[in-house]
Structure 1
């Protein structure tokens, strides 16, 4: 099912503009794959003025929002998925709608573009095996074979 978030954002954008207010988007600056000027983000969030007079080439597609805007006189291309939008509101009165934060998408499973980790058997050459008892050896062998990496989400 297609998310209703881009539809809601477009509808609220139109409503704000029709009322002659200034639409702003609050965007999660840490969302993977977004293209925003990070130097203007504060506490992991960036607020963007998306009024038609403030941006060029505004496109609100279902899977990607794109526009060009000026930051300190320099034009920048801005792009992010609708899932990165945390709120849309009017600058003049704060009316709009917040959205719950979306979980970040899983990383691509392509192993050709990034290195991968794998378990490697190692031998303990620091200490001769004769100085260890059988129980000590089996404990250290088990500890060596267990992975020390865990998946964090």
Structure 2
């Protein structure tokens, strides 16, 4: 199987960041680019996007599948069924500190509708790990840190590879 035939990494990354948020006591939010395939309360959609709290406390019957994110939630006291195709999720992040990941915006008619283009993440905070250009970003420790370089540094002189030493 080559890279073009493999499944998307997006649902796996969403599940991983959801777990990271919940394990650290953060509230996981997803930003969704809304179209006809997205089942959300339309009255809460702004600029073609909606941000949803997918925490355990805010949802019921949450399923983070490979194709869809499905759950039940209350909006203004009214129970609603929510169904979001995974390819319409443009970011997942922690509400408390903004750390998370943004994904390429789906392009209608493109392969799997996932060709990269600038993201209109107007409702997602740009600080703390979510890049508004739709780039995948790395989570950094809460105390800060430097973002990764575009290419990892190469060992000087092409010397031997570093090895781990087991200490008992």
User: If the length of structure 2 is used for normalisation, what is the TM-score?
Assistant: 0.60
Identify which of structures 1 and 2 has the higher relative contact order when contacts are C-alpha pairs closer than 8 Å and 6+ apart.
1
Structure-1 separation of matches of 2:77 and 2:43: 14
> In the alignment, which residue of structure 1 is the partner of 2:85?
81
Aligned residues: CA RMSD: 1.2
Which of the pair has more CA radius of gyration? 1
Deviation at 1:103, TM superposition (A): 2.0
- Runs of 5+ in structure 2 lacking a partner? 1-5, 111-168
> In the alignment, which residue of structure 1 is the partner of 2:70?
66
> In the alignment, which residue of structure 2 is the partner of 1:144?
none
Deviation at 1:50, TM superposition (A): 0.4
Structure-2 separation of matches of 1:22 and 1:56: 15
- Runs of 5+ in structure 1 lacking a partner? 107-153
Structure-2 separation of matches of 1:103 and 1:58: 27
- Determine which of 52, 56, 62 is the counterpart of 1:52: 56
User: If the length of structure 1 is used for normalisation, what is the TM-score?
Assistant: 0.66
> In the alignment, which residue of structure 1 is the partner of 2:119?
none
Deviation at 1:64, TM superposition (A): 1.1
SS in 2 for 1:26: strand
| Map 1:131-150 → 2, pairs under 5 A | none
Structure-2 separation of matches of 1:50 and 1:40: 15
> In the alignment, which residue of structure 2 is the partner of 1:27?
32
Q: Does 1:101 align with 2:105?
A: yes
Choose between structure 1 and 2: higher helix proportion: 1
- Determine which of 8, 11, 19 is the counterpart of 1:14: 19
